[in-house]
């Protein structure tokens, strides 16, 4: 996983946080309307769509810390409360990558498949496993 590519992406995309969050949720609800009720909690929506929280995750990954950051622990607990599972998280990952790819291609100089793969690895190798651990801890 290339933390440098992740950081470069955030440096460019942070200004589009609201657009990225809104587009992610619009696509999610249009393709999977069953999430409308499951994700109706304001705290959950905020946690899922926060670019600042994801940037915190990137910083945490760069440090290689074994400690869970509050963002991941809180999101894992909220997911558990709403019955979100691995299949749901994988769906969220796919949609977020789609949105990041679209925005990245528009504003990140030299955006490539390597950027997108770095984000895919961040989700698959870091965020989702730690969310699953946090969900178990919240049990």
Q: Give dist(CA 66, CA 57) in Å, integer.
A: 12
**Which letter does DSSP use for residue 138 in this model?**
T
Per CATH, the homologous superfamily of domain 3-137 is Globins (1.10.490.10)
Contacts of 34 (CB under 8 A, 6+ apart): none
Question: Does residue 120 contact residue 101 with C-beta atoms inside 8 Å?
Answer: no
* Mean pLDDT estimate for the chain: 82
- The domain ranges of the chain are 3-137
Judged against a pLDDT cut of 90, whether residue 22 lies above it is answered with: no
3-state secondary structure of 8: helix
Q: What is the pLDDT of residues 70-89, one digit of tens each?
A: 777 888 888 888 888 899 98
Higher pLDDT, 70 or 128: 128
Q: Give dist(CA 30, CA 36) in Å, integer.
A: 9
Q: How far is CA 6 from the centre of its chain?
A: 12
| pTM for the full predicted model | 0.83
Alpha helices in 1-139 (DSSP H): 3-13, 17-31, 35-38, 42-48, 51-63, 70-81, 86-107, 113-121, 128-137
Q: Which of 10-14, 106-110, 115-119 has the lowest mean pLDDT?
A: 10-14
What pLDDT is recorded for position 117? 93
Judged against a pLDDT cut of 60, whether residue 126 lies above it is answered with: yes
Q: What is the pLDDT of residues 24-61, one digit of tens each?
A: 889 999 999 998 888 877 777 666 766 566 666 665 65
């Amino acid at each position: 996983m290339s933390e440098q590519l992740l950081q470069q992406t955030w440096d460019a995309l942070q200004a589009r946080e609201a657009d990225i969050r809104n587009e992610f949720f619009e696509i999610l609800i249009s393709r999977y309307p069953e999430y409308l009720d499951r994700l109706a909690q304001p705290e959950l929506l905020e946690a899922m769509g926060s670019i600042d929280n994801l940037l915190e995750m990137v910083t945490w990954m760069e440090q290689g810390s074994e400690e869970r950051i509050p963002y991941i622990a809180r999101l894992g607990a909220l997911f558990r409360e709403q019955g979100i599972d691995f299949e749901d998280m994988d769906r969220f990952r796919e949609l977020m990558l789609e949105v990041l790819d679209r925005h990245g291609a528009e504003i990140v100089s030299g955006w490539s498949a390597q950027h997108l793969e770095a984000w895919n690895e961040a989700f698959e190798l870091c965020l989702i496993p730690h969310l699953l651990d946090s969900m178990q801890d919240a049990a």
